[in-house]
């Protein structure tokens, strides 16, 4: 087999076949679904949840993961925070001519491994090869299909006093990616928090009532994610800055680079908004799971009626300021 | 508790805040007005806004942001020239990220990049030396903006290029020095300040004694301060305390990094490669000997000598960055603030730079 991707790998002929057989099928091995051009799935349509996302992370391999793992966890988590159990994923690859097949195998292997951990099947895929220079190594698009959990979310029931919980410290993925680029002269051994969250989320959601809504604070970080949530569901939220867990390495990196940890990407965290009475129970359940061991209550819903969808941050000195979407700061492209 | 926690610790911060308010009130009682402090450093400006200290102290201390952001103080003509540099054939332009979206008269580096110019964001000038080594067929130009903090790294880059015997690496020097601009501000007398909060990073290189001129020649006190909320507050406290007791002194409140005479190795590096040169500052004309330029014997690394870019007089805009960096107005006083000018569509550098005063107000002090 060839060592590197050539334009011919994308032509649909023998080499494409070889690539599919030796790389994709070898690791994704799905006999039942991958025989037709499209996969036939067995459910009732009102239970189905679907999402899609493309991954263009640079560098492709970083401490704690790689683009393949990210492509699976990202899609799994999008489904999970929408209240669904991920069932099947499709994967589309856009590969730059000259890309190493060894690296591709690494990526595909880690996708397969992550999918197995997550208990989802990779059921269909696509490969395109583009000329050298028209892509950056490899891009992956994943589409995921999931089935709603029995326990439904209740975003419309959000009320004043509802509690905001984050499952762990923020900014790790962002800093891991930045230091993996070695461009920053940053020496940290921070690894990405990149992880599939749905087993964890399912456990939380089935054991605690009153989960209103969830999001995974990926690109744009915790602040942007919460601003969007506030706007989407029209409530005002207030965070306590000193309650938000930020690792020292993230702090340090942000100090040097002038970034704000609240705007750094996370790939293995989830924010929950939960009915106030359930918050204590919820924290117990979350903390008993390894992915939620350092969870924290970080704020509360300030108002709902006539709210205009604003996010506030109470600083340690007792002032309150408004948080906006990530704007203007030039963050390196991270996902 | 580690050091970082200590510096932003709740109770400590609140205690320090109360102390600052108390001493500021005492000052007010005596003088009938608030103490007026200028923070010179752009990172201080950001930290004041981000931590909420500025908002909280609004009625007690007047905090003015000074000319401490290297991007903001860069003259419009220089910016136009830098963007134009990207047009040179077979060049790779390397820059710090903040410069990418700074508006020139007609374009930005970002726009030039999308038009196909090879412009790369690097985090250290040393990376651009590496790029030059990897692309011997291209001219690699680094946009050298910055204060004393950054200039030693520019010197290091030149030393590297020298060692590697590179002939395709140059720096477009438009660096700035703290002392001349503070003198300019004080001499002009447009803005009245009681004391300066002096920049932490710059002082690591320069050392505490480099500010002696403030007390000796201008009788203005200053305190070198760190960046965490507690450090900012203790720095302020010490400064107002000096004012209140009518003492003129320069204090070092950032002792674990700033030494009396600074970093001799870094200064030595500066003096090996650079000499004083006249620099144009945004909104302030040319200040004599306010920057460092490459010595003649290193002219081969000087992009200004190697490339001949002729720039027209910059287009006039309503941007009031010049007044912002001289401490004369607040961003909200600019009609464009949060209207025509936002970080996504900036009119002036103060809105784009991660240390810019307008950006600080936009990001952290705006209600709508
Ligand atoms: S270089 Fe450092 S000290 Fe100078 S303005 Fe920027 S942050 Fe402040
Ligand atoms: S708001 Fe914009 S236009 Fe006005 S001074 Fe600031 S940067 Fe310039």
pLDDT tens digits along A140-150: 999 999 988 88
Residue B327 zone, left/alpha/beta (φ > 0; ψ -120 to 50; rest): left
3-class SS of residue A17: helix
Q: What pLDDT score does B100 carry?
A: 86
Q: Which atom of ligand 1 is nearest to the CA of A258?
A: 7
Q: What pLDDT score does B4 carry?
A: 45
CA A260 to each of CA A152, A241, A257, B354: distance values in angstroms, whole numbers, following the listed order: 34, 12, 9, 10
Mark yes or no for CB contact B366/A318 under 8 Å: no
What is the distance in angstroms between the CA of the first residue and the CA of the last residue of chain A? 31
Supply the ipTM of this predicted assembly: 0.73
For B49, the closest chain A residue by CA position comes to A321
Instruction: Count Cβ atoms below 10 Å from residue A280 Cβ, excluding itself.
Output: 12
* Chain B hits for A318, Cβ within 8 Å: 14, 17, 52, 56
Query: Of the candidates B46, B351, B365, which has its C-beta nearest A321's C-beta?
Result: B365
Mark yes or no for CB contact B343/A328 under 8 Å: yes
* Chain B hits for A252, Cβ within 8 Å: 4
Measured between CA atoms, how close is A183 to chain B, in angstroms?
Answer: 6
3-class SS of residue B287: strand
How far apart are alpha carbons A182 and B135 in whole angstroms? 19
Mean pLDDT, residues B315-321 taken together? 84
B352 pocket-lining for ligand 2 (C-beta < 6 Å): no
Q: Using CA atoms in the order B108, B112, B115, B121, what is the torsion angle rounded to 10 degrees?
A: -110
Query: Of the candidates B14, B50, B359, which has its C-beta nearest A328's C-beta?
Result: B359
Q: Using CA atoms in the order B352, B361, B280, B110, what is the torsion angle rounded to 10 degrees?
A: 0
pLDDT tens digits along B177-235: 999 999 999 999 998 999 999 988 888 888 999 999 999 999 999 999 998 889 999 99
Q: Report which of B362, B368, B353, B360 is spatially closest to residue B50, judged by C-alpha positions.
A: B360
Window 324-353 of B, Cβ < 8 Å to A: 342-344, 346, 351-352
Query: Of the candidates A258, A315, A330, which has its C-beta nearest B51's C-beta?
Result: A315
pTM equals: 0.83
Measured between CA atoms, how close is A271 to chain B, in angstroms?
Answer: 23
Query: Of the candidates A255, A260, A316, which has its C-beta nearest B10's C-beta?
Result: A316
Q: A94-103, A258-267, A275-284, B150-159: lowest mean pLDDT where?
A: A258-267
Mark yes or no for CB contact A317/B123 under 8 Å: no
How far apart are alpha carbons A178 and A259 in whole angstroms? 11
How far apart are alpha carbons B64 and B38 in whole angstroms? 5
pLDDT tens digits along B56-115: 999 999 999 999 888 899 999 999 999 999 989 999 999 988 888 889 988 889 889 888
Of the listed ligands, the closest to the CA of B336 is 2
How far apart are alpha carbons B366 and B368 in whole angstroms? 6
Quote the percentage of chain B above a pLDDT of 90. Answer: 64
Mark yes or no for CB contact A316/B14 under 8 Å: yes
Residues contacting B53, CB < 8 A, separation 6+? A317, A319, B17, B47, B229, B232, B233
**Looking at the complex, does the CB of residue B236 fall below 8 Å from at least one CB of chain A?**
no
Cβ atoms A86, A80 nearer than 8 A: yes
Q: What pLDDT score does A215 carry?
A: 93
**Looking at the complex, does the CB of residue B175 fall below 8 Å from at least one CB of chain A?**
no
Q: What pLDDT score does B12 carry?
A: 84
pLDDT at A151 exceeding the cut of 90 = no
SS3 content of chain B, % helix, strand, coil (to 5): 45, 15, 35
Of the listed ligands, the closest to the CA of B71 is 1
Q: Report which of B102, B107, B137 is spatially closest to residue B121, judged by C-alpha positions.
A: B102
Mark yes or no for CB contact B229/A317 under 8 Å: yes
Q: What pLDDT score does B2 carry?
A: 45
For A243, the closest chain B residue by CA position comes to B10
CA of B110 to the centre of ligand 2 (A): 19
Residues contacting A1, CB < 8 A, separation 6+? A18, A22, A101
Mark yes or no for CB contact A242/B8 under 8 Å: yes
Q: A174-178, A268-272, B285-289: lowest mean pLDDT where?
A: A174-178
> Strand A236-240 to strand A311-314: parallel, antiparallel, or no bridges (unpaired)?
parallel
Q: What pLDDT score does A97 carry?
A: 92
Chain A residues near any Cβ of chain B (below 8 Å): 183-185, 242, 248, 251-252, 255, 257-260, 315-322, 324, 327-330, 332
CA of B122 to the centre of ligand 2 (A): 26
pLDDT at A16 exceeding the cut of 50 = yes
At A185, is the pLDDT very low, low, confident or very high (cuts 50, 70, 90)?
Answer: low
Nearest CA to ligand 2 atom 3: B319
Measured between CA atoms, how close is B244 to chain A, in angstroms?
Answer: 24
How far apart are alpha carbons A138 and A274 in whole angstroms? 39
Higher-scoring residue by pLDDT: B154, B352: B154
Cβ atoms B243, B193 nearer than 8 A: no
Mark yes or no for CB contact A317/B50 under 8 Å: no
**Looking at the complex, does the CB of residue B146 fall below 8 Å from at least one CB of chain A?**
no
pLDDT at A287 exceeding the cut of 90 = yes
Residues contacting B298, CB < 8 A, separation 6+? B158, B162, B273
Q: What pLDDT score does B121 carry?
A: 86
Nearest CA to ligand 1 atom 8: B41
How far apart are alpha carbons B133 and B121 in whole angstroms? 17
Measured between CA atoms, how close is A251 to chain B, in angstroms?
Answer: 8
CA of B73 to the centre of ligand 1 (A): 12
Mark yes or no for CB contact B14/A248 under 8 Å: no
Higher-scoring residue by pLDDT: A123, A181: A123
B102 pocket-lining for ligand 2 (C-beta < 6 Å): no
Q: What pLDDT score does B304 carry?
A: 94
Query: Of the candidates B13, B100, B344, which has its C-beta nearest A327's C-beta?
Result: B344
How far apart are alpha carbons A71 and A216 in whole angstroms? 14
């Amino acid at each position: 087999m060839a060592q590197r991707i050539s334009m011919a790998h994308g032509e649909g002929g023998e080499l494409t076949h070889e690539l599919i057989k030796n790389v994709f099928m070898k690791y994704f091995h799905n006999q039942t679904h991958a025989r037709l051009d499209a996969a036939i799935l067995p459910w009732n349509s009102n239970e189905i949840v679907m999402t899609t996302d493309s991954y263009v992370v640079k560098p492709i391999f970083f401490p704690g993961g790689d683009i393949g793992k990210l492509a699976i966890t990202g899609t799994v988590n999008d489904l999970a925070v929408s209240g669904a159990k991920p069932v099947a994923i499709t994967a589309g690859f856009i590969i730059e001519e000259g890309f190493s097949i060894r690296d591709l195998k690494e990526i595909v292997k880690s996708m397969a491994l992550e999918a197995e951990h997550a208990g989802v099947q990779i059921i269909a895929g696509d490969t395109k090869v583009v000329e050298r220079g028209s892509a950056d190594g490899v891009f992956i698009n994943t589409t995921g299909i999931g089935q709603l959990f029995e326990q439904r979310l209740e975003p419309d029931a959000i009320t004043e006093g509802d509690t905001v919980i984050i499952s762990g410290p923020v900014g790790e993925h962002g800093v891991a990616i930045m230091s993996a680029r070695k461009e920053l002269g940053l020496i940290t051994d921070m690894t990405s928090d990149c992880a599939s969250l749905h087993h964890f989320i399912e456990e939380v959601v089935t054991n605690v009532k009153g989960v209103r809504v969830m999001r995974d604070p990926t690109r744009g970080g915790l602040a942007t994610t919460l601003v969007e949530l506030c706007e989407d569901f029209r409530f005002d939220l207030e965070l306590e800055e000193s309650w938000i867990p930020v690792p020292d390495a993230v702090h340090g990196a942000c100090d040097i680079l002038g970034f704000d940890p609240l705007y750094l990407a996370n790939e293995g965290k989830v924010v929950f908004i939960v009915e106030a009475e359930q918050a204590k129970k919820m924290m117990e359940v979350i903390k008993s799971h390894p992915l939620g061991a350092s969870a924290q209550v970080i704020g509360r819903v300030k108002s709902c009626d006539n709210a205009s969808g604003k996010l506030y941050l109470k600083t340690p000195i007792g002032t309150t300021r408004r948080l906006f979407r990530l704007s203007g700061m030039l963050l390196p492209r991270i996902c | 508790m580690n050091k970082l926690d200590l510096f932003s610790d709740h109770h400590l911060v609140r205690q320090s805040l109360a102390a600052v308010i108390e001493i500021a009130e005492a000052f007010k009682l005596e003088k009938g007005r608030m103490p007026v402090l200028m923070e010179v450093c752009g990172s201080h400006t950001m930290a004041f806004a981000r931590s909420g200290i500025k908002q909280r102290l609004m009625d007690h201390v007047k905090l003015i942001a000074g000319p401490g952001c290297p991007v903001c103080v860069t003259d419009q003509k220089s910016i136009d020239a830098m963007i134009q540099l990207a047009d040179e054939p077979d060049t790779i332009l390397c820059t710090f990220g903040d410069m990418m979206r700074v508006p020139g008269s007609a374009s930005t580096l970002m726009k030039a990049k999308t038009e196909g110019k090879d412009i790369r964001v690097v985090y250290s000038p040393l990376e651009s030396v590496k790029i030059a080594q990897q692309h011997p067929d291209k001219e690699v130009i680094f946009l050298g903006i910055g204060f004393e903090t950054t200039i030693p790294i520019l010197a290091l880059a030149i030393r590297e290029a020298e060692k590697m015997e590179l002939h395709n690496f140059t720096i477009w020097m438009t660096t700035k020095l703290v002392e001349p601009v503070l003198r300019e501000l004080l001499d002009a007398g447009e803005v009245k300040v009681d004391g300066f909060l002096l920049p932490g990073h710059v002082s690591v290189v320069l050392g505490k004694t480099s500010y002696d001129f403030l007390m000796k020649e201008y009788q203005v006190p200053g305190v070198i301060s760190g960046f965490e909320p507690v450090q900012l507050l203790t720095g302020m406290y010490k400064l107002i305390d000096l004012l209140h007791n009518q003492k003129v002194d320069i204090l070092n409140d950032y002792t674990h990094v700033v030494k009396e005479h600074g970093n001799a190795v870094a200064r030595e590096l500066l003096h090996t490669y650079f000499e004083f040169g006249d620099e144009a500052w945004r909104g302030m004309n040319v200040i004599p000997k306010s920057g460092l330029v490459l010595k003649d014997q290193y002219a081969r690394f000087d992009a200004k000598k190697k490339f001949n870019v002729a720039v027209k007089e910059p287009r006039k805009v309503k941007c009031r960055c010049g007044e912002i960096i001289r401490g004369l107005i607040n961003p909200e006083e600019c009609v464009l603030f949060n209207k025509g000018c936002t970080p996504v569509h900036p009119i002036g550098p103060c809105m784009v730079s991660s240390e810019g005063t307008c950006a600080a107000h936009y990001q952290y002090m705006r209600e709508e």
